[in-house]
Amino acid sequence: MEQKSIQDYYDDDFAICYGCGRLNKHGHHLKSYWDGDEVVCHVRPKPYHTGAQNFVYGGLVASSMDCHGTGAAAAFKHKHDRKELGVDKLARFVTASLQVDFLAPVPIDGVMEIRARLEEIKGRKVIVAMTLTVNNMVCAKGRMVAVQIPDDYLEKYNPPEK
Amino acid sequence: MEQKSIQDYYDDDFAICYGCGRLNKHGHHLKSYWDGDEVVCHVRPKPYHTGAQNFVYGGLVASSMDCHGTGAAAAFKHKHDRKELGVDKLARFVTASLQVDFLAPVPIDGVMEIRARLEEIKGRKVIVAMTLTVNNMVCAKGRMVAVQIPDDYLEKYNPPEK
């Protein structure tokens, strides 16, 4: 049986992200998985995702880290709270801040592997460190402060239609 | 006559970025313009660029800032060196680091305006501060360290085929 990704456990209401939502028909469908104490994803750029010739544009690196980081944050918090995927409701996180350091051009013909490591949990806030490698070469590092979406979010921003 | 964007002055070899390259057939074609001492761009999200319902996914904010920031860096350096657009060759910049602070959900039915302000120039390095507003509401702030692409970049990474 294929392992389910973190994003597969998002509530339907929060599964429409262009970057990682399984219900977004146009999107990238980024998927993040537990791997030991880390959360990992793999992204294969399209040939037209160029920045300069032969290399990936920075936006794909940043946007992949944004989706992967919030997914990893949800997974880390879930585990920290001793909850189980598929049993307990998975909270959704949004990015408060994202720092990306670009260390080397990212080859467009490789697969980007992004590994997320838990740095710290402070209440509803989760700090995630990320490393992006292609063929084991470190090309970028990221650091995200993610915040758990308030329970009244949907009510506040999407009141039911009358 | 329509004002030409900063990206319209990029060399063909550096105009294939998925985010802002005029020669990328699949891309977003982000365009940045001088406006007083600032450089501004406007991005209209597609209806499917959702993060949560009614709001833009973070990746579009980060990737737009990435392209706009490097465009603004090129413009700031060009002006600093007393060069003229359309007369002197415009140098191309890449991102060394990008920090994005997400301050409020970005409405998906608005136009994102990103204003870039020069913070500092240190040799080949340009530091750019950015503010993203929708309908005059500040939704995100960014800070980029951009670095001028070395003159031997194409030779180094794309040696001419023999």
Mean of the per-residue pLDDT values of chain A: 94
For B52, the closest chain A residue by CA position comes to A14
Instruction: Give the total residue count for chain A.
Output: 162
Task: State the pLDDT confidence band at A155, using cuts at 50, 70 and 90.
Answer: confident
Q: Is the pLDDT of residue B1 over 60?
A: no
Residues 96-155 of chain A whose Cβ lies under 8 A from any Cβ of chain B: 96-102, 105, 149, 153-154
Contacts 24+ apart (CB under 8 A), A147-151: A147/A93, A147/A94, A147/A95, A147/A96, A148/A77, A148/A91, A148/A92, A148/A93, A148/A124, A149/A14, A149/A91, A149/A92, A149/A93, A149/A94, A149/B52
Evaluate whether A110 touches A135 at the Cβ level (below 8 Å).
Answer: yes
Which of the pair, A2 or B94, is modelled with greater confidence?
Answer: B94
| Three-class SS state of A124 | coil
Q: B35: helix, coil or strand?
A: strand
Phi and psi, residue A90, nearest 5°? -90, 125
Cα(B89)–Cα(B99) distance, rounded to whole angstroms?
29
pLDDT over threshold 60, residue B76: yes
Tell me the residues of chain B between 68 and 87 that have a Cβ less than 8 Å away from chain A: 70
- pLDDT mean over A94-121: 98
Q: Give residues with Cβ within 8 angstroms of A160, minimum separation 6.
A: none
A interface test, pick of B100, B145, B152 with most A CB neighbours within 10 Å: B100
Residues from chain B that touch A60, judged by Cβ atoms under 8 A, are 18, 63
Global pTM? 0.95
User: Which pLDDT does position B158 carry in this prediction?
Assistant: 65
Q: What is the mean pLDDT of residues B32-61?
A: 97
Predicted confidence (pLDDT) at residue A160 exceeds the cutoff of 70: no
Q: Is the pLDDT of residue B3 over 90?
A: no
Question: Domains of chain B (ranges plus CATH)?
Answer: 6-155 (3.10.129.10)
Q: Which residue of B has its CA nearest to A154?
A: B53
Instruction: Give the residues across from A70 on adjacent strands.
Output: none
Which residues of B fall within a CB distance of 8 Å from A96? 101-102
pLDDT of residue A46: 96
Residue located via tokens 């890449």: B94
